[in-house]
Amino acid sequence: MPKRSSIAVACAAAGVVLFSQQAFVPAPQVNRRAQISAVAGSVAALGAAPAFADEIGVAAQKLSDASYPFLKEIDWTSYVYNVKPGAASAVDWIKAVDKAIVMGTAMDSNLLKQAAEAHVKAIKSMDGNLVTSKADYTAINAALGRTVASVPESVTMDVYNAFDKLVPKDVPEYMMSRVNEADAKKAYAAFIEFKDVVKAHPIAPAAVSATSVSDAKLSAIGAAAGKLSAASYPFMKDVDWTSDIFTKPFPGASAKDVMKAVDKAIAMGAVMDPKLLREAAEAHHKAIGSIDAKGLTSEADYTAVNAALGKLIASVPSNKVIEVFNAFKALAGPSIPNYQFSAVNPGDAVSAYAAFWEFKDVVAR
């Protein structure tokens, strides 16, 4: 299935995915150094929600106090974070992402929104090395702790185990070599304490409310998705979804440039209808279940994903959607679309584009 088609669904949960990989890590045994850097690296990627006077909020403050020195040592502008570690295939990675999507669907919608909003705030306080303020970092840790607390432990562990299988064991050693080892160990120890607090204080997710989009519009979008899918599925079959090009950095774009675009996507995710967001995530999960060896989902599941995304985007103010489009358009420039076009049947691509334009009009009405 198309990796980029899931961006709108996943943007609100992007930060949570990293945290979930390490939420219930067993106590270190043989290779403590490797575990320290693996877990601490994930912690450092987190960041923000106002600190509430609850156990998780208090624990988040302790975590931030202990790990912020480590956070500041990391070169967040490095392209190392854009490089896919190991030799696992694209299909292997999409199956791991599927576990994260399943985790996202189980999260409390309000807590998920708060975590997204916390990330948006934290991005605004980043310095030249992309390190957010300690206050915003603390708020993110608290917000992510609460979202993870709203998920069954087994689901969290599914995410951790899925990504753990894909990352080579020498990656943590390499990451450790780039920071102060004492600070990394201190951050790791604090994270283990934080993990225990999160695990000990589960939060029951609230029921998702009814959608804000009218039944008539939902029906129209569903019909339009059928037309789009029929016209564009030949193009989908032309694309090499196993290519590593989808994991490569945008040519000429800095980490800061990419972060600004991601910020727009997270802001869009924060205002999405929670019921439609969950349905879109569930559609992606089902579609991943039908992918073939080339990473292509069935036409029926592709249609369901298009319908779910169309309905979801219809729940967002148009200015938020345009901001995301413009941000990523600037990163892609003309070279990426031209190269991608050259790699497929041009007739199929043109037909897909024309159908998408009609679909966009139905969603935007």
Mean pLDDT by 10 residues, the chain (365 residues): 37 35 33 36 39 79 98 92 88 96 96 97 96 98 97 97 94 91 95 97 91 94 98 97 88 92 97 96 97 96 98 97 96 91 96 97 95
Residue 211: closest CA among 75, 308, 106, 88: 308
Residue 365: closest CA among 218, 212, 209, 210: 218
pLDDT of amino acid 172: 87
User: 43 and 191 in contact (C-beta within 8 Å)?
Assistant: yes
Q: Which residues contact 87 (CB under 8 A, 6 or more apart)?
A: none
What is the DSSP secondary-structure string of 248-274?
SPPTT--HHHHHHHHHHHHHHHHTS-H
Domains recognised in the chain with CATH numbers = 4-200 (1.40.10.10), 215-364 (1.40.10.10)
Written as six digits, the tokens of 153 are 């432990």
pTM recorded for the entire structure = 0.83
Query: How far apart (Å, rounded) are the C-alpha atoms in residues 324 and 309?
Result: 15
pLDDT of amino acid 326: 96
pLDDT of amino acid 274: 95
pLDDT of amino acid 212: 87
